[in-house]
């Protein structure tokens, strides 16, 4: 990718990729925070409201920390970055532990954020906050999310009452299946430092998400719309991180 740009434009490209990564990660966290706020408002009893209040406060703090982490990454301040990211998972687990049996599928999706934060800190990496490892974590989380969405689509297709709806979900089924294969290939290309194939693989993925959305049209459910948006965010993060790798 970087060979396409002069040295004059390269800093702008890197800055844009960091911004895209930051925007996508914070978009996911803000989305989950809004779910917690809305759930708290809709709760019928004070006990449930109090439980969601824990999530509300925790996610508010985590959004601030993630914004600071993104800025620290841009500034190559790895000590502050590591400290910030080490705090992320706690807010997710605190929310899930507080809700207990009241945890919903939407709240369970909060693991997306914790997964990104946690994976880039795992050994055996001598220093995890390099572009390759952020890319690896983003691809891994994209793949996990794609597998979850694929399973959801297969179940929705099986539960559809009419052939037209079944056929629409079949488009999504095939598309997500192909995307999973491409993401697996992307992960292997990253491991092999085959950046041309990696970039090509990642560029193909968003079309499968949009094709599914376009196919479903008016039959798109709020849950599937939310799943699609998260998938888009993770794919953007993968591409943005890949763009930071020095070729």
Phi and psi at 154, nearest 5°, equal -60, -45
Tell me the pLDDT of the chain (247 aa) as tens digits.
333 322 322 333 333 444 455 444 545 454 554 455 565 566 668 887 887 788 778 878 877 887 787 777 777 787 887 787 777 777 777 877 887 777 665 555 455 555 555 554 444 434 444 678 778 878 888 898 899 999 999 999 999 999 999 999 999 999 999 999 999 999 999 999 999 999 999 999 999 999 999 999 999 998 898 889 888 878 887 887 788 787 7
Q: Could you tell me the two tokens for 160?
A: 């559809």
| pLDDT one-digit tens code per residue, 129-163 | 467 877 887 888 889 889 999 999 999 999 999 99
CATH H superfamily, domain 130-247: Invertase/pectin methylesterase inhibitor family protein (1.20.140.40)
Residues 6+ apart with CB under 8 A from 221: none
Q: Which CATH architecture has domain 1-129?
A: Up-down Bundle (1.20)
The count of other CB atoms within 10 Å of the CB of residue 197 is: 14
> Cα–Cα–Cα angle for 166, 141, 99, nearest 5°?
85
**Burial degree of 97 (CB within 10 A; 0-12, 13-18, 19+):** exposed
The count of other CB atoms within 10 Å of the CB of residue 214 is: 12
> What percentage of the chain has pLDDT greater than the value 70?
71
What pLDDT, on a 0 to 100 scale, did the predictor assign at position 76? 76
CATH 1.20.140.40 range(s) for the chain read 130-247
The whole-angstrom separation of Cα 242 and Cα 199 is 7
Write down the pTM of the prediction.
0.60
The whole-angstrom separation of Cα 206 and Cα 173 is 15
Cα of first residue to Cα of last residue in the chain, in angstroms, is: 8
| pLDDT one-digit tens code per residue, 230-242 | 888 788 878 877 8
């Amino acid at each position: 990718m970087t060979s396409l740009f002069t040295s004059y434009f390269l800093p702008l490209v890197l800055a844009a990729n960091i911004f895209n990564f930051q925007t996508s990660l914070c978009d996911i966290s803000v989305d989950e925070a809004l779910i917690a706020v809305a759930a708290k408002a809709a709760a019928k009893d004070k006990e449930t409201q109090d439980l969601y209040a824990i999530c509300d406060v925790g996610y508010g703090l985590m959004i601030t920390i993630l914004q600071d982490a993104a800025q620290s990454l841009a500034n190559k301040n790895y000590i502050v970055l590591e400290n910030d990211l080490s705090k992320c998972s706690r807010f997710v687990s605190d929310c899930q532990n507080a809700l207990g049996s009241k945890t919903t599928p939407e709240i369970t999706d909060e693991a997306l954020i914790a997964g990104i934060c946690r994976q880039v800190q795992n050994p055996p990496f001598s220093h995890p906050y390099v572009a390759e490892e952020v890319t690896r974590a983003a691809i891994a989380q994209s793949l996990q999310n794609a597998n979850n969405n694929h399973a959801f689509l297969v179940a929705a297709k099986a539960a559809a009452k009419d052939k037209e709806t079944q056929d629409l979900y079949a488009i999504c089924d095939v598309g997500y299946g192909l995307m999973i294969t491409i993401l697996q290939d992307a992960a292997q290309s990253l491991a092999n430092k085959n950046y041309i194939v990696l970039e090509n693989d990642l560029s193909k993925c968003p079309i499968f998400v949009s094709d599914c959305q376009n196919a479903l049209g008016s039959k798109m459910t709020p849950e599937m719309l939310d799943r699609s948006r998260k998938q888009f965010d993770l794919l953007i993060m993968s591409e943005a991180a890949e763009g930071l790798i020095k070729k």
